[in-house]
C-alpha cells in the first residue's frame, strides 16, 4: 500500500445570474474567435510558407488583436481563457504531428459545448466560494460532493452544454491512498448482448440506455427536421433533442462509473482487449449498439482509476482469437459466427462464447505480464 498525489477534477453544476450568463457568453464567443483566427493564421502560414507557427507567435498575435481599435471587445473577458485556448490549439497541433489525432478544425458555434479555462490568477477560491475574474458575484454552485480538505484549485473550467446547463470543473491536487492488494484477477470481454462478461463466469447486463429513449428521441428528431432553419421553434426543438441525448449520456456515464469502480476495488489485475472501436462502428448493423455500450469510455475510466488505486490494467492484442479459442485445451475453431453464443470444443468442453473469451483474455494478459510477449498468434 502507498499513496500518490494526483491532479483530480471535481465537476459541479452551477446556476449563473443573468449578468454572469451574459459575461460568460461573451467569454465563450471570444474564446471561439481567438481559437479560430489563430488556427486560420497557422494554416495559412503552413500552406503558403511551409512553416510551423509556434505558440509564442500566436500569443503575440493575440496581444496585437487586443490592441486593434476595432477589436476592443476582446479585452472584455479575462485574459486567462484566451491564453488557454491558444494552448489547446498548440496541443491539437502537437497531437496531429505525433499522429495521435486528426488535423485540427474550426470551432463551430452550437456544434460543440462552450468552455473557458481559468488559471490560478484568474479566479479566487476561499472557504468554498468561487469567483471568476471580471465577475462581481461568486458562482452559485450545487456542491454535490465535498472537495478534498485543504484543496487549493490550480485551474477552473467553466462550460455550457447543448442543454443550456452550466458546469464548473475544479482541478486540484489530492493525495489518494492505494487500495490493499488482493489476489483476484479478472478478464473482461466487452459485448453488446451483455455489456461485460467476466472470466469468473459473471455477466453484467447491458442497460441499453439509448434504446430505452429511442422512440422519444426519434419523435423529437422528426419534429426538429420539420422546423424552418434559423427559427425560434427550431431552436426549441433542438433543445428538446439535446435534453434527451443528455439524459441518455448521464445514465450511461453513471452506470460505467459504478461498474469500473467495482472492478478496480475487487481485482488487482484487469485484462481487456485493445478494441478498435472507431473501425468497429463502421459496421452499420452494430454501430448504434457499440456506441451505446461506450467501450472506449469504460476503458478510459478503468485505466485512470487503476492508476489512482494501485491496480493494473493490461490490454491484449485486438486480433487475439479469444472467442474461437477453447479455454480448456487451447484448440482454435475455424469459424464462429456472431449468432453462435454457445459451442462445444472437440475436447468435450462446453463454452459460453463471452465467458470463454473472458477466460482467454485473462490468460493472455497474464502471459503478457509475465514475459512481456505478444499474444497475437503466428500466421502459420
- Catalytic residue among 114, 189, 210, 292, which? 189
Euclidean distance between CA atoms 334 and 322, whole angstroms: 12
Euclidean distance between CA atoms 114 and 27, whole angstroms: 9
> DSSP label at 136?
S
Euclidean distance between CA atoms 81 and 132, whole angstroms: 11
Of 360, 370, 260, the C-alpha closest to 307 is: 260
| Helix intervals (H) in 50-125 | 55-67, 79-97
Cβ neighbour number for residue 183 with a 10 Å cutoff: 7
- Grid coordinates given for 336: 464462429
Is 354 an active-site residue?
yes
- Catalytic residue among 114, 210, 292, 354, which? 354
Residue 186 phi/psi, 5-degree rounding, is -145, 140
> Residues 282, 286, 292, 298: is their CA dihedral positive or negative?
negative
Cβ neighbour number for residue 358 with a 10 Å cutoff: 31
Length of the chain: 380
- Catalytic residue among 273, 312, 317, 352, which? 273
- Kind of pairing between the strands at 185-190 and 269-273: parallel
Inter-helix orientation angle 295-309/232-266, to 10°: 40
Decide: 4 and 183 in contact? Cβ < 8 Å.
Answer: no
- Kind of pairing between the strands at 185-190 and 166-177: unpaired
Euclidean distance between CA atoms 297 and 377, whole angstroms: 28
Of 317, 343, 341, the C-alpha closest to 332 is: 343
Decide: 111 and 61 in contact? Cβ < 8 Å.
Answer: no
Residues β-bridged to residue 141: 14
Q: Which residues are catalytic?
A: 189, 273, 354
Amino acid at each position: 500500500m502507498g499513496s500518490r498525489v494526483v491532479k483530480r477534477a471535481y465537476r459541479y453544476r452551477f446556476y449563473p445570474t443573468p449578468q454572469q450568463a451574459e459575461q460568460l457568453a461573451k467569454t465563450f464567443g471570444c474564446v471561439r474567435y481567438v481559437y479560430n483566427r489563430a488556427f486560420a493564421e497557422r494554416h495559412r502560414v503552413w500552406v503558403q510558407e511551409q512553416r510551423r507557427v509556434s505558440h509564442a507567435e500566436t500569443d503575440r498575435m493575440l496581444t496585437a488583436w487586443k490592441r486593434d481599435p476595432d477589436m476592443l471587445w476582446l479585452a472584455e473577458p479575462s485574459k486567462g481563457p484566451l491564453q488557454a485556448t491558444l494552448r489547446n490549439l498548440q496541443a491539437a497541433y502537437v497531437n496531429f504531428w505525433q499522429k495521435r489525432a486528426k488535423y485540427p478544425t474550426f470551432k463551430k458555434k452550437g456544434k460543440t459545448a462552450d468552455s473557458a479555462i481559468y488559471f490560478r490568477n484568474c479566479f479566487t477560491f476561499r472557504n468554498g466560494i468561487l469567483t471568476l475574474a471580471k465577475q462581481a458575484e461568486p458562482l452559485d454552485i450545487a456542491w454535490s460532493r465535498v472537495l478534498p480538505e485543504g484543496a487549493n484549485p490550480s485551474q477552473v473550467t467553466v462550460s455550457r452544454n447543448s442543454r443550456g446547463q452550466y458546469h464548473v470543473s475544479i482541478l486540484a491536487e489530492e493525495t489518494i491512498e492505494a487500495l490493499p492488494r488482493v489476489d483476484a484477477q479478472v478478464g473482461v470481454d466487452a459485448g453488446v448482448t451483455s455489456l461485460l462478461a467476466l472470466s469468473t463466469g459473471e455477466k453484467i447486463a447491458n442497460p441499453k440506455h439509448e434504446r430505452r429513449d429511442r422512440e422519444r428521441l426519434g419523435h423529437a428528431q422528426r419534429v426538429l427536421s420539420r422546423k424552418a432553419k434559423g427559427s425560434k421553434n427550431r431552436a426549441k426543438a433542438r433543445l428538446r433533442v439535446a435534453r434527451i441525448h443528455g439524459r441518455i449520456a448521464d445514465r450511461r456515464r453513471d452506470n460505467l462509473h459504478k461498474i469500473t469502480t467495482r472492478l478496480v476495488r475487487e481485482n488487482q489485475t484487469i485484462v481487456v482487449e485493445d478494441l478498435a472501436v472507431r473501425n468497429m462502428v463502421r459496421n452499420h448493423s452494430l454501430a448504434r449498439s457499440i456506441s451505446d455500450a461506450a467501450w472506449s469510455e469504460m476503458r478510459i475510466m478503468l485505466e485512470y482509476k487503476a492508476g489512482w488505486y494501485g491496480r493494473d490494467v493490461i490490454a491484449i492484442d485486438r486480433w487475439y482469437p479469444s472467442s474461437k479459442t477453447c479455454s480448456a485445451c487451447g484448440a482454435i475453431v475455424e469459424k464462429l459466427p456472431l449468432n453462435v453464443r454457445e459451442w462445444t470444443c472437440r475436447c468435450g468442453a462446453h463454452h459460453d462464447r463471452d465467458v470463454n473469451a473472458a477466460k482467454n483474455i485473462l490468460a493472455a494478459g497474464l502471459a503478457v505480464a509475465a514475459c512481456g510477449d505478444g499474444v497475437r498468434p503466428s500466421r502459420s
